[in-house]
Amino acid sequence: MNPKNPVDVSIVYFGKPYQTLVSLLSLLKYSRQHIDTIHISVEYKQPHGDINGIYTVLEGLKNEKVQLYYPTQFYQLGPLDYEQVKKDEKLRWSLPYQYALEKSTNQYLFILHNDMLFHADMIGDMFEKGFSKRKLAGAGSIGQCWSCPANWDNKCSGSKQESYVPSQAEAIAVHEAHATPRQKLDLEIIRSGRVYPLPECRLNEYACLVNLQNYQHNTLPSGESRCFGGVWNGADLGTSWFYDMVNRGHRFQHFVLEDYALHSPFNPIGQGSQDYSKADSYRICENRAKEHLKEHYELPVLSSATQIKMGINRAKFNARKAAGQVYARLWKLVH
């Protein structure tokens, strides 16, 4: 454990090499003094055939301490089986951020999306405002308030999450009164008896700090709380873990994300998830991030050896893709 740099970083690499680099380099620009190791989980599949982008990321981080993890399967968001996740480490480590949360030996883990742009020292401010002294389980932006009717009614917010504890009847009434994006699912969750925190409440993974000793002691496989990176039977990633931890007495502190960073700054409508389904949006955002890197940092220059590796990797990818297409045609003919 490194007391001078007590924070490891965890990011999931699912494409967006230039946006990933902007996320990490801007974080390092303001918070490098707190950071030890950067853990990058490289998803089993990559979007739009962008299979070689990780080489660009690694070249851009060549002066940093980086550890890669390659999950053996691609994690599809959806309900998870508690016992299976507890026993099957390969499945568990395919959940976003779980490998670093489980295996890091440092004191804290800073989790972030791969489409962030930092403009202040968020980690330092968290320590300055008493993260370690208060023995918090986590800190960051709390609540998907844009999707929560309690926020629409001005009853609750990220900073008021601990003080707004409605009864089941009140929670149902509030959710029935507004056609929020996940109204039906949220009502199902509340009617099942899972009331507080409300279904849309969580520690947002865009940029948050987690107490690792607390996490590892209280979360699967050692503890009883469900993993941070799973949807389970909740509204979204992280809501089940947050519910479990709050109801076991653990506390969190809200920080306004925009005071420190912008999420999806290169997407025209600020929704980075659309880049995965729309190739044009993906390319536009990547080009904008590339220009930002060129202006504020420097573009990675790939060595000849790395370019050869990329060529071999691309050839293997194309061969697997062609074999899959042939198999699909044969299957269609037979059936």
Distance, in Å, from the CA atom of 237 to the CA atom of 251, rounded to the nearest integer, reads 19
Confidence class for position 1, pLDDT limits 50, 70, 90: very low
Phi, psi for 30 (deg, rounded to 5): -105, -25
Q: What is the pLDDT of residues 168-182, one digit of tens each?
A: 999 999 999 999 999
**Cα–Cα distance between 37 and 156 in angstroms, integer?**
36
Copy the structure tokens of residue 318. 């194309």
- CB contact at 8 A, 266 and 115: yes
Q: Average model confidence (pLDDT) for the chain? A: 92
At 326, the pLDDT band (50, 70, 90 cuts) reads: low
Res 2 pLDDT > 70: no
Parallel/antiparallel/unpaired status of strands 261-263 and 116-118: antiparallel
Closest listed residue to residue 147, CA positions, set 187, 191, 192: 187
Q: How far apart are CA 257 and CA 29, in angstroms?
A: 17
Residues 250-279 have pLDDT tens digits of 999 999 999 999 999 999 876 666 777 789
Two structure tokens written together for 132? 């370690």
